[in-house]
Chains A and B, each alone.
Chain A
Amino acid sequence: MPTPVLVAVLSCKAVIAVLLLAAGGAKLADLSGFASTVRLFLPRPARARSPQLAAGIAVGELAAGAVSLSVPQARWPSLVVLAVCVAFALTWSVGYVRHRGRSCRCFGALSAREFDQAGVVRAGVLVLAALAAAAPVPVLSVQLGLGGRLALLAGGALIAGATCSAAAAAGPRQALARRAMSRQAL
């Protein structure tokens, strides 16, 4: 594999893992807010379970991000991350069609992004990046010792913790959901 391609593949792998850690950390700080978004996609009987599902998604993102970041030589975490990204893209597409203009709370209180066309494109790009990250790479380029893995895990924990803290600090501001009612309602 040519070096630039290898760098691109590994970059996709690392960046997606870090994104998952940040997203999971931010969601954990505003679970009730994220649960209200999850509820939009659930049938009525399952809506009561939205807080648990929201917590499950946040923890799942953290776990997928941590494993993908610190065990790069294994193929299965990349496939799990690819499945997660495909699920995100599907959710964004459904959100764009059925709940356009509602907040996705993908990064908890840190993000005010709504389900829109640009979001669907971003989700598509994420899937392409996850596909690239799942490509097989030379073992030597991803062979990490215990020290390297622990260092990456520590870095990932730092990012998740810092994002969680930043989202918690932004929480009260976002509690006031930004809404130009005069424009949107009519």
Chain B
Amino acid sequence: MAKNNLSNQIRRLRFENSQMTQQQLADKVGVTRQTIIATEAGKYAPSLPLAFKIAHAFGVSIEAVFQYENADS
């Protein structure tokens, strides 16, 4: 899948949250570990509900997890 303009802080947030594993995060948000890996690597842009679930899992706002880089700006 092509890279998108969406960057994320999932890796950093996982380590700040008691070194949460990818599997633990996947179980919390109800997806497979492969989806977390792909999202973390920026290979997959999650849906809005999943993005909110990930943010809620870390107890932060969605903007703290995902950042969109506008190519025009």
Genuine A/B complex: no
Interface residues of A (CB under 8 A from B): none
